[in-house]
Structure 1
Amino acid sequence: MVVAHNQANHLRSEGDVNNTPARAEWTQSIQDEATQALLKRDSDVFLHQSMSTPCLDSLQAADGIYIEDTRGKRYMDFHGNNVHQLGYGHPNVIQRVTEQMQALPFSPRRFTNDTAISCAEKLTEICGGELNRVLFAPGGTSVVGMALKLARFITGNAKVVSLWDSFHGASLDAISVGGEACFREGMGPLMAGVERIPPAIAYRGAFPHPEGSDLHYADYLEYVIEKEGGIGAFIAEGIRNTDVQIPSKAYWKRIREICDKHNVMLIIDDIPNGMGRCGEWFTYQAFDIEPDILCIGKGLGGGLVPLAAMVTKDQYNQAAELSLGHYTHEKSPLGCAAALATIETIEQEKLLDKVQRHALLVKQRLEQMKRRYSVIGDVRGMGLLWGVELVTDRVTKQRAYDEAEQVLYHCLNQGLSFKVSQGNVIQLSPPLIISRQQLNQALDMFEHAIATVNKEFNYE
């Protein structure tokens, strides 16, 4: 069934929204009293906000690559808020955190502990290069704030350049440097001194290049730095997570050169995509560059404990008189135990190699679908992060909003969960532990939904 609506397009940028007719129809279709009771209780007690409350469904369990709702229906989770690299309830993570709870559950500020030190040392090992100084925080948004503060202190320049459509967290400082209008809606004045430039997008970029090059997007950064003056940092996601935009290696090398030339600190936000999703530990490694500051989080805590980290270079260890973070759980034994277990599991199970092998299958299957179904305008991805952009017309590239929603709900009915970004981009990011059989099963579900919608909306 085709459902038309007038949802403001700029509110769709981060994910599928929760106040469309299609969402209401989905909620009403859940014929389970226990679920409906939980959804009502949730709606009555939590503050309502986009992409959250009211909720899609209620869960009672999560295990491996699956989440299970109150009715007992299981879904392959291809979203997971990007914390599910190891899926859910990985035994190694559970064991290490349980042991830590029994030994040292909390470490007050001014005290250190072996687990936190070991975790920081391990992070610097997998980062490699000159990234050898760490500061932990409870979440990614907090880490971004610390990175901005450090860049101001080191450079003496308060201004920041970021990218339109970027996401760096939901706090006031993070949305100030973020590029999504949905988070700035109704917020009034934000942090001063932020300049935004267009991201390097091949499919529908602001300044498309006839030969497909994206170097001119990097050159735009230098133009702004020279014209504006006082720029201390350039912050960007190595790969745009939600709608999966992947700049070229040449783009990132040029960005690094520009930042070096103008003494601008390069901050890479790898909070959603770090910890192996791209087939490397971190996305910048796939582009053969090194940032001045790396922000990581989400999957760092193994899908169990909230933990994030800022990693930087020894030469920037200059703010000893300041409190860059000052967070209560700054050296959390539990969070660091979860992170150590996560890193060790990725190494022991050789998940980086597995991701790279899986990527070949996903690319092949999605490209085949693109050839078969005209509703698919573009396919792009790396490792186990893929975006499938749906359009009403491949020439005009008009976004297919209603079609994307219908694909989502068709897949949910089959037992596959993911998010929709920009209103028309299906984002597929399965756990790294997924088997080849499970991956093929999920792609079969997805193709069935695409084929159904392609027919329902009368595409050729």
Structure 2
Amino acid sequence: MDGVTGFLHSEGDINTTEERTRWQNQLAHPRTEAMLEEDARYFLHQSMSTPCLDVLEKADGIYIEDARGHRYMDFHGNNVHQLGYGHPQVVESIKKQLDTLPFSPRRFTHQVAIDCARKLGNICGGDLNRVLFAPGGTAVIGMALKLARVVTGNHKIISLWDSFHGASLDAIGVGGEACFRESMGPLMPGVERIPPAVSYRGIWPREDGSDVHYADYLEYVIEKEGGVGAFIAETVRNTDVQIPSQAYWQRVREICDTHNVLLIMDEIPNGMGRSGEWFTYQRFGITPDILCIGKGLGGGIIPMAAMITRDEFNVAQHISLGHYTHEKSPVGCAAALATIEAIEQDHLLDKVRADEPYVRNRLENMKSRYELMGDIRGIGLLWGVELVTCRQSKERATREAEKILYRCLELGLSFKVSQGNVLQLSPPLTIDRNELMRALDIVELAISEISAA
């Protein structure tokens, strides 16, 4: 794989390949084709986005529906779809809020914002009880970086290669995704990146599969670099589903405490129940100093995000950490509260924990029969299927992954491909067992067809 292709494939499936052209040529739907052409005419083109894949007209439950009437089970959803689409409880809450207080200007508060902040503190547990809202996840990453500087007096940050924390200039400055940093020139100073704890392709593999030595390297860099204020990481890497061990995270927590480095955990894509806990860090028995959440917080309807931290870090009264126009959006807070209530009332955390072994068993069974599947890994309802041309060399099966993606789209299942060869499967938490079974049947059928070919 050449360098340019590596950049393009590092985050998700891309829109400039022969398979994409073939897909669009077979749509054979004049209105869809006309709308895609018009969209490409008016929107600025960018990798993985515009030109677009298809035209949507409806979204309901776990399904999205295109202009041809073709329905897809959505296992992508930009990670906002924990409750699927148009959840009635969220929709009703938003409607009620629009009728009373649709917007709250700066310097004012309101009951729904207070209730939402209190509720977030309750589900985070521990001493995470101070909240700032923002319109999106990238914004709360920026606020977290600012707060870490204020609290510690140190501006240096350590992050992980291959991480994604948002697309703004400060977020890509601490991110590790090449496709976002390419051609950007100088980024935020004081950032040191270290290798992530990767089980399948790690640069420092151990025969026993342990990964704590990746955390030990964090301590090495902290001590050598000096002046480090924070370590920022996704608890579980969302895009290609990399899952460190509990021992790794407990060692990281110990290192941060020892060296007075704040631990910032990015739960923007994986929070709100995807792991079977409210937040993925709760599966690993640790608590961050600063938590960043977003995406699914708004119920798949309203852009909504939050930074949550400890009371002892309420020390930035003299500066504006966020100061966003929609910082205390009444509609966003109403959507977030309704989302939390729906997850509680429908016992979705229990459901996700029950779904996890079912998905694991299905995928492990597939792996035993298809050499194309090099690795499967997952937690809750977040799964990665890594495809390889050879299990010994682990050469990425990028061409096969793309063919499987488009075959699954034809069969009614949408997901994303990461790193060029990882099928990332993240369904709505509301999916029932029959739907989950049917989706995995589609994945298996596509894998079997491409394997045979």
TM-score after normalising by structure 2: 0.99
1:30: which partner in 2? 27
Conservation of the 8 A alpha-carbon contact between 1:177 and 1:194: yes
- 1:204 counterpart residue number: 201
Which of the residues 396, 415, 420 maps onto 2:393? Answer: 396
Contact 1:96 1:338 in 2 (8 A): yes
Residue 169 of structure 2 is aligned with which of 161, 169, 172? Answer: 172
Equivalent residue letter for 2:87? H
Q: Aligned ranges for residues 311-460 of structure 1 at < 5 Å?
A: 311-456=308-453
Q: Which residue matches 2:50?
A: 53
Structure 2 CA distance, aligned partners of 1:282 and 1:443?
A: 25
Q: Give me the whole-angstrom Cα distance separating, in 1, the residues matched to 2:344 and 2:259.
A: 38
Within a 5 Å distance, the mapping from 1:153-232 to structure 2 comes to 153-232=150-229
Q: 1:251 aligns with which of 248, 252, 256?
A: 248
SS in 1 for 2:229: strand
CA distance in 2, matches of 1:162, 1:365: 34
Aligned-residue offset at 1:10:
2.3
1:91 counterpart residue number: 88
Q: Does residue 284 in structure 1 map to residue 298 in structure 2?
A: no
Give 2:241's aligned amino acid.
Answer: V
What are the superposed Cα offsets for residues 423-460 of structure 1, whole Å, 9 maximum, x if unpaired? Answer: 0000000000000000001010110001001111xxxx
State the match for 1:81 in structure 2.
78
Structure 1 runs of 4+ aligned residues shifted over 6 Å read 4-7
The count of corresponding residues between Structure 1 and Structure 2 is 453
Structure 1 residue aligned with 2:231, among 224, 234, 248? 234
* Contact 1:5 1:21 (8 Å CA) reproduced: no
Is 1:269 equivalent to 2:266 in the alignment? yes
SS at match of 2:322: coil
User: After superposition, what is the alpha-carbon deviation per residue over 1:53-111, rounded to whole angstroms, capped at 9, x for unaligned?
Assistant: 00000100000000000101000000000000000000000000000000100000100
Q: Deviations over 1:246-299 (max 9, x none)?
A: 000000000000000000000000000000000000011000000000000000
Does the aligned pair in 2 maintain the 1:7–1:20 contact within 8 Å?
no
Q: Is the counterpart of residue 119 in structure 1 residue 113 in structure 2?
A: no
SS in structure 2 at match of 1:267? strand
Aligned counterparts of 2:28 and 2:45: Cα–Cα separation in 1: 23
Quote how far apart the aligned CAs of 1:342 are.
Answer: 0.3
The answer for unaligned runs of 5 or more in structure 2 is: none
Q: 1:409 is aligned with what amino acid? A: Y
In structure 2, the residue corresponding to 1:141 is in which secondary structure? helix
Equivalent position of 1:43 in the other structure: 40
Q: Is the 8 Å Cα contact of residues 161 and 194 (structure 1) preserved in structure 2? A: yes
Q: Distance in 2 between matches of 1:282 and 1:200?
A: 19
Q: 1 CA distance for matches of 2:25 and 2:40?
A: 14
Within the alignment, does 1:296 sit opposite 2:293 as a pair? Answer: yes
Corresponding residue SS for 2:164 = coil
Q: Specify the code of the residue in structure 2 equivalent to 1:396.
A: S
Deviation for aligned residue 1:28: 1.2
In 1, Cα distance between equivalents of 2:157 and 2:125:
26
Q: Secondary structure at the match of 1:165?
A: coil
Identity of aligned residues (%): 69
Equivalent-residue separation in structure 2 for 1:143 and 1:429 (angstroms):
23
Per-residue deviation, 1:6: 9.5
Contact 1:389 1:426 in 2 (8 A): yes
Q: Deviations over 1:305-341 (max 9, x none)?
A: 0000000000000001110000000100000000000
5+ residue gaps, structure 1:
none
Query: How far apart, in 1, do the equivalents of 2:206 and 2:17 lie?
Result: 36
Deviation at 1:132, TM superposition (A): 0.3
Q: Distance in 1 between matches of 2:131 and 2:335?
A: 16
